[in-house]
Amino acid sequence: MRQTKKDELVEKALGVFYQNGFHATGMDRLVAETGISKTSMYKHFNSKDDLILAALELRDRLFRDWMVQRIEALASAPADRILALFDVLGEWFDSPDFKGCMFIKASAEFPDAAHPIRRQSAAHKRLIQSYIRDLARQAGLNDPDRIARQMMLLKEGAIIAAHVTRSDTAAHDAKEAARQLLSA
């Protein structure tokens, strides 16, 4: 499918926001780094927040698609897929493009729980938690909701450790903790 000018703008803005943050990225910087004029940006988006929401929507889709594909490539059994989540995180953390979680960053920059950007960030996390809960159900584990919540805590903690402290064991450590929770 042919990429539209709007799609191109969102894709380029996603990269700029991920690299520099949301508040630190003004419209002038977006123009400079994307090569797309302010007029064109405002033709497609009423505000910078609308562009941020579109970029987060794209990031959500790209990240979850990649994550699920990688998990499914690494494991076939549902319980093994839960553990493979942490292997996939390790791949992400080892990527030269890893700059932390865009949704955690968005939540930090937009702390009002009612703000649409904060709500979209929370929705991303809920979708991943739902995926883990579905795997736990498929695996026949007791209390899939609890398992999903616990795995999300491990996942989010690993992301923070990998980003903030540059821990090179975050994914592995989280996987070992997940293994113990699943065997309990």
Query: Does the residue 66 lie in any domain?
Result: yes
Query: Does the residue 84 lie in any domain?
Result: yes
Tens of pLDDT, residue by residue, the chain (184 residues):
567 888 989 999 999 999 999 999 998 888 888 888 888 888 999 999 999 999 999 999 999 999 999 999 999 999 999 999 999 999 999 999 999 999 999 999 999 999 999 999 999 999 999 999 999 999 999 999 999 999 999 999 999 999 999 999 999 999 999 999 999 8
Contact 82, 138 (CB under 8 A): no
Query: Does the residue 73 lie in any domain?
Result: yes
Residue 155: which of 136, 168, 170, 139 has the closest Cα? 170
Q: Residues 34, 99, 148, CA angle at the centre, nearest 5°? A: 120
**Which domain range does residue 63 map to?**
56-183
Residue-averaged pLDDT of the chain: 95
**CATH code for position 90:** 1.10.357.10
For the entire predicted model, the pTM comes to 0.93
Query: Does the residue 154 lie in any domain?
Result: yes
CB atoms within 10 A of CB 71: 21
Query: Does the residue 6 lie in any domain?
Result: no
Query: Does the residue 50 lie in any domain?
Result: no
Query: What residues contact 47, with CB distance under 8 A and at least 6 apart?
Result: none
Query: Does the residue 93 lie in any domain?
Result: yes
Domain count across the chain: 1
Query: Does the residue 90 lie in any domain?
Result: yes
